[in-house]
Amino acid sequence: MLPAFAAFAFFVVASTMSTAQTPGAPPPAAPPPLFATTKIADNVYVFRYGGYQSMFVVTPEGVIATDPIAYLRPQAAQTYIDEIRKITRAPIKYLVYSHHHYDHIAGGKPFKDAGASVIAHKNARAKLEALKYPDVVLPDMVVDQHSTIELGGTRVDLIYVGRNHSDNSLVMLLPKEKILFAVDFIPVQAVMFRDMPDGFLPDWFDSLDRVLALDFTTLIPGHPGPGGRMGTKDDVRAVKEYLTDLSNATRELANQGKCFDEAMKTLKLPKYESWTSYGTYLQGNIERFCEYWGWGI
Ligand SMILES: [Zn+2]
């Protein structure tokens, strides 16, 4: 779960620019449209709606779509399908969930109705079957450690890299194009959501190492990076460094008996203050590491 903080930052930047305009300065940039589709490689596209985004892959034999990103906004799924239809009439064969959090995967019914098979990690299906949220389509197929989709000459590897922001994140790797789609556990220049709910320490660190061992050059995140940018391996390394710095600093305070309140009030990590949501979520991130180092939970 990582609500629209990135979108928020995205739009705030635009509106700040419009109010801070000085005489003689070029006209302010228009706010970004509600949604956009961007071509990343020959057959690979990113669909963004508000502050959320998904990857889709177009082949002559069909389309591999990912996260419907239509939570509490059913029109987003139809818009997503309309955007795919501007590019191809090929059938939408698959809809792959990045993880089970509703804000990324709710609203998939139009994809299912269009004939797509829904794929997720096996732990995601177990969670979704238990929760029975009305607007989530249950997966038809599950992945344990690794699976491969070969469609129309394109290969997509679905890889489980262990527990991180949930216990069921699948990363999607296009080995030929060297593109990786990974959602929420590797935000691009953003701190983690609140107190990292549903997250797993210390597994998260191992998971980042497993991502770094994959062969890719472009990281597509589930929320746009600053200015809408995609990520690279350097962004994965930066997330690992952030979590390491946060962990070390919080551990020291925990050992001095300063968790929770004093640590949450006093600890600052100025190296990351330009990151999205630093002001709103750093305290929550410290809280999570206080639980870990101060209570052992
Ligand atoms: Zn999430």
Ligand 1 geometric centre to CA of 106 (Å): 12
The CA 210 to ligand 1 mean position distance, Å, reads 19
pLDDT at 14 (0 to 100): 38
Going from the Cα of 103 to the center of ligand 1, the distance in angstroms, rounded, reads: 7
CA atoms of 256 and 291, how far apart (whole Å): 14
Q: What is the pTM of this model?
A: 0.91
Tally of structural domains, the chain: 1
pLDDT tens digits for 24-41?
667 777 888 999 999 999
Ligand 1 centre to CA of 165 (Å) is 6
Measured between alpha carbons, how far is 83 from 56 in angstroms, rounded to an integer? 10
The rounded radius of gyration (Å) of the Cα atoms in the chain is 20
Residue in the block written with tokens 């069909």: 62
What average pLDDT is seen over the chain?
93
Residue 61 near residue 151, CB atoms below 8 Å: yes
**167 alpha carbon – ligand 1 mean position (Å):** 10
| DSSP run (H or E) holding 36 | strand 35-41
* Tokens standing for residue 175: 């080995």
Region 204-223: mean pLDDT is 98
pLDDT of residue 7: 41
Residues 7-18: tens digit of each pLDDT: 434 433 333 344
Q: List the domain range (segments joined by +) for residue 176.
A: 5-295
Instruction: Name the nearest CA neighbour of 139 among 178, 77, 94, 173.
Output: 94
CA 22–ligand 1 middle distance (angstroms)? 40
Query: At 113, which CATH number?
Result: 3.60.15.10
- 3-state SS assignment for residue 211: helix
Q: How far is the CA of 99 from the centre of ligand 1 (A)?
A: 7
Per-residue pLDDT reduced to its tens digit, 102-131: 999 999 999 999 999 999 999 999 999 999
Going from the Cα of 197 to the center of ligand 1, the distance in angstroms, rounded, reads: 9
Residue 192 has pLDDT above 70, yes or no: yes
